[in-house]
Amino acid sequence: MAATPMMQQYLDAKNACGDALLFFRMGDFYELFYDDARIAARVLGLTLTSRDKGENPIPMAGFPYHQLESYLAKLIANGHRAAVCEQVEDPKLAKGLVKRELTRVISPGTLTDDALLDPRESNYLAAVALPAHKNNGDSTAGIAWAELSTGRFFAATVPAARIADELARINPSECLLSEEDTPSASVPCPPFPLPSGTMLTRRPAWSFGYDTALASLQKHFELATLDGLGFTESDSSALRAAGAVLDYLCETQKASLVHIDRLTPYRSGDLLEIDEASRRSLEITRTIRTGDREGSLLATIDKTVTPMGARLLADWITNPLTNLAAIQARQTGVTELVAEDALREALQEQLRGVYDLERLLSRVATGRASPRDLSFVSRTLSALPKVKAKITARKAALLTELESNLDLCPEIHSCLESALLEDCPFVAKDGGIIRGGYNADLDRLRDLAAGGKEWIARYQAEQAKATGIANLKVAYNKVFGYYIEITNSQKDKTPATYIRKQTTVNAERYITPELKEYEEQVITADDRAKQLEYELFLSLRESVQREARRLQATAAVLAQLDVLTSLADLARKRSYVCPTIVEEPVLKIIDGRHPVLDIREAQGTFVPNDCILGGEDGTVTLITGPNMAGKSTYIRQVALITLLAQIGSLVPARAATIGVADRIFARVGASDELARGQSTFMVEMTETARILNTATPRSLVILDEIGRGTSTYDGISLAWAIVEHLHDTITCRTLFATHYHELTDLTQTLPSVRNYNVAVKEWEDHVVFLHKIVPGAADKSYGIHVARLAGVPKEVNERAKQILARLEQEHLGENGRPKLTVKGKRSSKGDLQLTLFAAPDHPVVQELRDLNIDSLTPLEALQHLAKLQSRVAQSPQKTS
């Protein structure tokens, strides 16, 4: 059966929108058909009905048009893409079938509506261009990422092995990849892991082509050459990725993208590198357990008052700096704001009145800004002079610079302010936007519309008087427009000139030619006024669009001010100190606190600790101590303090000197990392391997119970060898927390290892955790005490104590320590001697040593051999 013309229109649109679910506008509804309807019924909870209930019913589901945004949000959140097909002409005026067009395609990476976005989080669309000549040994890839809702656009060239880390840093909600790089539909994963929650979108290979990229970038930025952007010849992959992003945005948005006004090269060398596993482990922006923002470092330190500030702070914390001067510039700005309570509070107060200018501007640019959006731009501009006044005449260079960059955009402001009413509606076509006095034509039309209404009232009074019907009423309904209503009891007095239109139970309704004539004027005046308001709104929007660049620069200033104020607020409230930043790889933290626990625990209960590392003070710190003592907390706090210092923040400590780190690594032993379903020893070792292969003398490494994921001896041996390598070969600052107190013997052979342990107080049969890191090695593991605390039955505990005593007897040397090293016998690098694994000399060995082979005949040698063999066979080796 041939499709009806409308269904044909639907099928054409559906063909053009790929795998997106199509929302097809029909009158006051959006409808979905076929499989889309089935999916929508399941995901959105819509009722599945059917169209053409005859032989070939078409599955159908729909909802009223005003619910579009909320259904889109739900669909996107469920990992789908959606396309919207609108009626592009007034159905009342259409001859035949209403014209419809695909107006946009929405996917997680291309959202601009506030309803669909988290104001505090950036929402990036990324593309990865894999090496073009894989077989030539080319191992650099390109990554580009853009945020449609703010206009930010970056591209980077990275080693292919770092793609996953970069994606973890960017955390895009959608990632484009060439079809060619995902060989078949049966291979669902790209050749690198995507962050969880990132949607993969396959694109045709040509959209990743180099020439295509150059052409579309040049066209978009109106440049004859891309040289000025700061990319070099080796950046071709980065540009291919950027081209793919731009191509996808153009195709899906069908709107102006003027707010994406530059492509910024991203150079990771200027930034502190943190790989994906370390990010997760340090809970920088999300917690491990729940994956939520709440409880992360970011959520803890975030005192920003604008969405722009919240996003910029997230950006800073995911991209800490390595440049001393840049870090100090931020520090100086924050420090000045810490000192001035009144200024800081006033500044925050002003910033609270500011709207999300970045995202407002992106909607202006893409032609989706509502009248309300424009009025928010206007209100934001109204707040600016006071913000500027607050930051004039500051000492810190950064504050002075921000002050001078804060463009008040007075012309746009006065234009918007004189034009827009106080509270503008979301809808642009129903009036209620423009102030009286702004446009003479509009005022005239409004007078007419209002005058008409007055006229109706007057007409009613006149007619009542003329007819003598006191309760005669002029009223309005949608069917007849204005009419005169006369109740049945009075209907005899009705003049003959009235034209009857309708009879109701209690009354008759009439019209008159005069009434209709006025009605016409009133109604058209109202409509014409609305139309004119709409046109005025569009031209205002265009004038804002023309100044988008200036406004964007202003938005950037506001975001930075918000972040600096936020850091100052935090520092003041939590008594942070400004760390001294130096180039040398040292760490000196006095009375440091874990930034998150410090806030979460009751005030004053967190026990501060020092950390001294680098040079004479040793490069490797081993921290031993019982479970629950505070080892993990301590080593994390050192990493987090370093990270905070490198974003320019003050830090939770009494004093601190931080040597800039180029990389921070944080690894947790497999069995400690519970939340990660597939946590295996393999993962632990793979991640450790990466540290050993990529750490530099300027890195900071924290290892938490590494080696725990395998058997004890295996684990100790690995941990031992890893520490040796970090100590001897990499020589970087390392904190190693372990409950294997055997490792404390490392200080006997490695000069730069220091032992620390977490103090506990034993009291009768209990242990009390003091959470204080003190020099020296822990002397035992306390696991049994902890088991006791946890409520393991007493008998089990007593039995465990007996077993422990036996084991310790067998495995401890004469000095009462585990037999892991023989002091002083480590002759050269890597030649360690583990007595725990090498058996003590068997008497046979000594005999062998004493044997003078030169004096033996072959036969005697054989006899000796037989004798030795028999002795080894009958006497099983003793351990001590």
CB-based contact 86:25 (threshold 8 Å): yes
Least separation in angstroms between residue 726's CB and ligand ADP is 20
Least separation in angstroms between residue 630's CB and ligand ADP is 3
H-run or E-run covering 44: helix 34-44
**Measured distance CA(381)–CA(410) in Å, rounded:** 8
Q: Is 303 in the site for ligand ADP (CB under 6 A)?
A: no
Residues 6+ apart with CB under 8 A from 195: 167, 168, 171, 172, 276
The CB density around residue 558, as the number of other CB atoms within 10 Å, is 26
Least separation in angstroms between residue 756's CB and ligand ADP is 12
Instruction: Name which of 281 and 632 has its Cβ closer to Mg ion.
Output: 632
Instruction: Name which of 278 and 821 has its Cβ closer to Mg ion.
Output: 278
Q: Is 632 in the site for Mg ion (CB under 5 A)?
A: yes
Choose the one of Mg ion, ligand ADP, none that binds residue 771, judging by a C-beta under 5 to 8 angstroms depending on kind.
Answer: ligand ADP
Q: Is 736 in the site for ligand ADP (CB under 6 A)?
A: no
Angle at 398 between CA 394 and CA 404, to 5 degrees: 70
| Total residues binding ligand ADP (CB under 6 A) | 13
CB-based contact 459:483 (threshold 8 Å): no
| Total residues binding Mg ion (CB under 5 A) | 1
Q: Is 777 in the site for ligand ADP (CB under 6 A)?
A: no
Choose the one of Mg ion, ligand ADP, none that binds residue 833, judging by a C-beta under 5 to 8 angstroms depending on kind.
Answer: none
Q: Is 628 in the site for ligand ADP (CB under 6 A)?
A: yes
- Which residue has 């928010």 as its token pair? 376
Instruction: Name which of 634 and 720 has its Cβ closer to ligand ADP.
Output: 634
Angle at 7 between CA 5 and CA 8, to 5 degrees: 60
Q: Is 607 in the site for ligand ADP (CB under 6 A)?
A: yes
* The one among 192, 606, 720, 740 contacting ligand ADP by CB under 6 A: 606
Choose the one of ligand ADP, Mg ion, none that binds residue 667, judging by a C-beta under 5 to 8 angstroms depending on kind.
Answer: none
Which one, of 384, 408, 300, 393, lies nearest residue 340 by Cα?
Answer: 393
Instruction: Name which of 302 and 598 has its Cβ closer to ligand ADP.
Output: 598
Least separation in angstroms between residue 293's CB and ligand ADP is 20
Output the CA torsion 476→477→478→481 (10° steps).
Answer: -40
**Measured distance CA(157)–CA(237) in Å, rounded:** 7
Residues 6+ apart with CB under 8 A from 548: 258, 259, 261, 361, 364, 365
Q: Is 633 in the site for Mg ion (CB under 5 A)?
A: no
Choose the one of ligand ADP, Mg ion, none that binds residue 607, judging by a C-beta under 5 to 8 angstroms depending on kind.
Answer: ligand ADP
* Cα 454 to Cα 32, 447, 448, 449, 686, distances in angstroms: 46, 10, 10, 9, 81
Q: Is 744 in the site for Mg ion (CB under 5 A)?
A: no
* The one among 629, 651, 700, 746 contacting ligand ADP by CB under 6 A: 629
Q: Is 331 in the site for Mg ion (CB under 5 A)?
A: no
* The one among 281, 565, 633, 646 contacting ligand ADP by CB under 6 A: 633
CB-based contact 427:399 (threshold 8 Å): no
Choices 273-281, 505-513, 623-631, 811-819; region in contact with ligand ADP by CB under 6 A = 623-631
Token pair in block for residue 278: 């370390």
Token pair in block for residue 491: 């209907």
The CB density around residue 458, as the number of other CB atoms within 10 Å, is 11
Choose the one of ligand ADP, Mg ion, none that binds residue 536, judging by a C-beta under 5 to 8 angstroms depending on kind.
Answer: none
Instruction: Name which of 659 and 709 has its Cβ closer to ligand ADP.
Output: 709
The dihedral of CA 9, 15, 18, 19: what is its sign? positive
Angle at 283 between CA 693 and CA 161, to 5 degrees: 30
Token pair in block for residue 585: 């790889």
Instruction: Name which of 286 and 708 has its Cβ closer to ligand ADP.
Output: 708
Least separation in angstroms between residue 752's CB and ligand ADP is 23
- The alpha helices in 209-356, defined as continuous H runs, are 210-221, 236-253, 276-282, 297-301, 307-318, 324-339, 341-352
Q: Is 452 in the site for ligand ADP (CB under 6 A)?
A: no
Q: Is 639 in the site for ligand ADP (CB under 6 A)?
A: no
Residue facing ligand ADP at closest CB distance: 630
CB-based contact 151:361 (threshold 8 Å): yes
Residues 6+ apart with CB under 8 A from 605: none
Choose the one of Mg ion, ligand ADP, none that binds residue 627, judging by a C-beta under 5 to 8 angstroms depending on kind.
Answer: ligand ADP
Least separation in angstroms between residue 274's CB and Mg ion is 20
Q: Is 641 in the site for ligand ADP (CB under 6 A)?
A: no
Residue type, 436: G
Choose the one of ligand ADP, Mg ion, none that binds residue 62, judging by a C-beta under 5 to 8 angstroms depending on kind.
Answer: none
Q: Is 374 in the site for ligand ADP (CB under 6 A)?
A: no
Choices 242-250, 368-376, 626-634, 714-722; region in contact with Mg ion by CB under 5 A = 626-634
Least separation in angstroms between residue 705's CB and Mg ion is 6
Strand order in the sheet with 82-87: 49-51, 58-64, 29-33, 21-26, 82-87, 100-106
Q: Is 595 in the site for ligand ADP (CB under 6 A)?
A: no
Q: What's the alpha-carbon Rg for the chain, to the nearest Å?
A: 37
- The alpha helices in 307-370, defined as continuous H runs, are 307-318, 324-339, 341-352, 357-365
* The one among 632, 699, 717, 821 contacting ligand ADP by CB under 6 A: 632
Least separation in angstroms between residue 698's CB and Mg ion is 26
Which one, of 271, 352, 277, lies nearest residue 308 by Cα?
Answer: 352
Least separation in angstroms between residue 627's CB and ligand ADP is 4
SS3 percent helix, strand, coil of the chain, rounded to 5, is 50, 20, 35
Q: Is 631 in the site for ligand ADP (CB under 6 A)?
A: yes
Q: Is 757 in the site for Mg ion (CB under 5 A)?
A: no
The dihedral of CA 148, 149, 155, 158: what is its sign? negative
Instruction: Name which of 81 and 636 has its Cβ closer to Mg ion.
Output: 636
Instruction: Name which of 244 and 703 has its Cβ closer to Mg ion.
Output: 703
Q: Is 771 in the site for ligand ADP (CB under 6 A)?
A: yes
Choices 46-54, 174-182, 491-499, 621-629; region in contact with ligand ADP by CB under 6 A = 621-629
Q: Is 637 in the site for Mg ion (CB under 5 A)?
A: no
Q: Is 140 in the site for Mg ion (CB under 5 A)?
A: no
Least separation in angstroms between residue 628's CB and Mg ion is 8
Least separation in angstroms between residue 606's CB and ligand ADP is 4
Choices 83-91, 624-632, 722-730, 851-859; region in contact with Mg ion by CB under 5 A = 624-632
**Measured distance CA(419)–CA(415) in Å, rounded:** 6
* The one among 382, 531, 627, 833 contacting ligand ADP by CB under 6 A: 627
**Measured distance CA(720)–CA(713) in Å, rounded:** 10
Q: Is 671 in the site for ligand ADP (CB under 6 A)?
A: no
DSSP 435: P
H-run or E-run covering 174: strand 174-178
Choose the one of Mg ion, ligand ADP, none that binds residue 629, judging by a C-beta under 5 to 8 angstroms depending on kind.
Answer: ligand ADP
Least separation in angstroms between residue 738's CB and ligand ADP is 10
Instruction: Name which of 486 and 620 has its Cβ closer to Mg ion.
Output: 620
Q: Is 715 in the site for ligand ADP (CB under 6 A)?
A: no
**Measured distance CA(398)–CA(571) in Å, rounded:** 18
**Measured distance CA(565)–CA(338) in Å, rounded:** 8
Instruction: Name which of 308 and 737 has its Cβ closer to Mg ion.
Output: 737
Least separation in angstroms between residue 718's CB and ligand ADP is 19
Which residues lie near ligand ADP (CB under 6 A)? 601, 605-607, 625, 627-633, 771
Which residues lie near Mg ion (CB under 5 A)? 632
